[in-house]
Amino acid sequence: MSDTLVLLDHTAAGALRTPVRELVTLARSLGGAVTAAWAVDGAEPGAQTLAELGALGVTQVYRLTSDADLHAPAVLAEGVAGLLEATGARTLLATSSFENKEVAAHLAVTTGAGVVTDADTLERVDGTLVAGKTVFAGTWSTRCAVRAPLAVVLVKANSVVATDAEAPVEPQVTEHAFTASPSASRVRVVERTERPATGRPDLGSATIVVTGGRGTEGDFTPLEELADVLGAAVGATRVATDEGWIGHDAQIGQTGITVSPRLYIGAGVSGAVHHRGGMQASGTIVAINSDPDAPIFEIADYGIVGDLTTVVPQLTAELRRLKG
């Protein structure tokens, strides 16, 4: 059984991003050893991070270092390609972000890898990797086999529950230095501004998401209060971000962030197909809307026809009371 390499998405401060734990959990289920790549793009894997990875069962952490900017996906892809070749790992797992899709596309061209994006399941069937994913705005499920010897699978957040390995290990840390080709360095990252932390979970990987749309009429305060009681992230529809009620980075939808939390609560969200494409794969969908004909009710597990400005604060107060 060949090894699986996991790309370790991390913050600028050196903390693992939440979905990485899910990736490692999934990688263990495939058999073979689980190794990991950390792009040294300013932050190093600290002792706590290594302990966390060890608990998850990662045996090897490769520090990818380069003379070129590892924030450029073309550069990172060259480093990862070299690492796959050097270690013999035949499967790469990474979170399904736009940056990693760029890395995956480069790898498809340069290494012959078969790529699946937005996977929500992954298993080995008679030696072949088979990934599951939903398509057409979450309305269809598909299973897709990788026919190439090298597989790159990008996995959606919240696809599996992260668990530690049966026995913790102490990961070996090895440097993998590489020189980027001139062609990979042709894109110059002139500026890069990390988004400041909001104190709430990342929208893309949060287990609970509270979303506001046109029906909020611009006032997200009740939603933010609900989110804080639930430890949830706050998202929005395209209308709400276009109106400037909240930043564009909060936009959930086909062209924004795709979320698949355990619990999605939409308030004043009509459920246009563009938005549904970014949230329909959520576990439980709750919708609060004053319009009984809003399309979101067609996909909601629990729908309330009512005024969000009274229902949401009442929900928040009741949850606060129940939590004591």
Partner 1 sequence: MKIVVCVKYVPDIQSDRRLVDGRTARDGGDGTLNELDENALEAALAVVEAGGEGSVVVVTVGPDDAVDAVRKGLQMGADEAVHVLDDAIAGSDALGTARVLAAAVRHVGGADLVVTGMAGLDGLTSLVPTALAALLDVPALPLAASLEVTGTTVRVTRNLDHASEVLEADLPALVSVTDQANEPRYPNFKGIMAAKKKPVTTLTLADLGLDATLVGDAGSRTQVLEAAPRPAREDRVLVNDTGDAGVRLAAYLVENQLV
Annotated binding site: 214, 237-238, 251-255, 268-275, 289
CA distance 302 to 288: 9
Which one, 24 or 153, has the nearer CB to partner 1?
A: 153
87 three-state secondary structure? helix
- Of 27-35, 59-67, 172-180, 247-255, the segment contacting partner 1 by CB under 8 A is 247-255
Which one, 136 or 170, has the nearer CB to partner 1?
A: 136
Which one, 54 or 245, has the nearer CB to partner 1?
A: 245
CA distance 262 to 239: 24
- Of 43-51, 158-166, 167-175, 286-294, the segment contacting partner 1 by CB under 8 A is 286-294
Please identify which residue in 105, 162, 165, 173 interacts with partner 1, judged by CB under 8 A: 105
221 three-state secondary structure? helix
- Of 24-32, 80-88, 158-166, 190-198, the segment contacting partner 1 by CB under 8 A is 190-198
Length of the chain, in residues: 324
Report the nearest approach of partner 1 to the CB of residue 60 (Å). Answer: 26
| 104 lies in the site for partner 1, by CB under 8 A | yes
Task: Give the residue numbers of the binding site for FAD.
Answer: 214, 237-238, 251-255, 268-275, 289
Report the nearest approach of partner 1 to the CB of residue 59 (Å). Answer: 28
- Of 57-65, 160-168, 211-219, 316-324, the segment contacting partner 1 by CB under 8 A is 316-324
| 74 lies in the site for partner 1, by CB under 8 A | yes
List of residues 6+ apart from 295 with CB closer than 8 A: 270, 271, 272, 273, 276
| 208 lies in the site for partner 1, by CB under 8 A | yes
Collect contacts of 308-314 with beta carbons under 8 A, ≥24 apart.
308/215, 308/216, 308/222, 308/267, 308/268, 309/219, 309/222, 311/267, 312/222, 312/223, 312/226, 312/267, 312/288, 313/222, 313/225
Contacting partner 1 within 108-167 (CB under 8 A):
108-110, 112-118, 130, 134-148
Report the nearest approach of partner 1 to the CB of residue 191 (Å). Answer: 4
317 three-state secondary structure? helix
CA distance 231 to 239: 24
Report the nearest approach of partner 1 to the CB of residue 114 (Å). Answer: 3
| 90 lies in the site for partner 1, by CB under 8 A | no
Contacting partner 1 within 8-47 (CB under 8 A):
11
154 three-state secondary structure? strand
| 313 lies in the site for partner 1, by CB under 8 A | yes
Q: What are phi and psi of 156, to 5 degrees?
A: -70, 150
Tokens of 266: 């939409």
Report the nearest approach of partner 1 to the CB of residue 218 (Å). Answer: 20
| 171 lies in the site for partner 1, by CB under 8 A | no
CA distance 78 to 69: 12
Tokens of 53: 């990875």
Tokens of 3: 């090894």
Please identify which residue in 106, 156, 176, 214 interacts with partner 1, judged by CB under 8 A: 106
Which one, 43 or 55, has the nearer CB to partner 1?
A: 43
Size of the site for partner 1 (CB under 8 A): 90
| 293 lies in the site for partner 1, by CB under 8 A | no
**What element of type H or E holds 76?**
helix 73-87
Which one, 51 or 136, has the nearer CB to partner 1?
A: 136
**What element of type H or E holds 21?**
helix 19-29
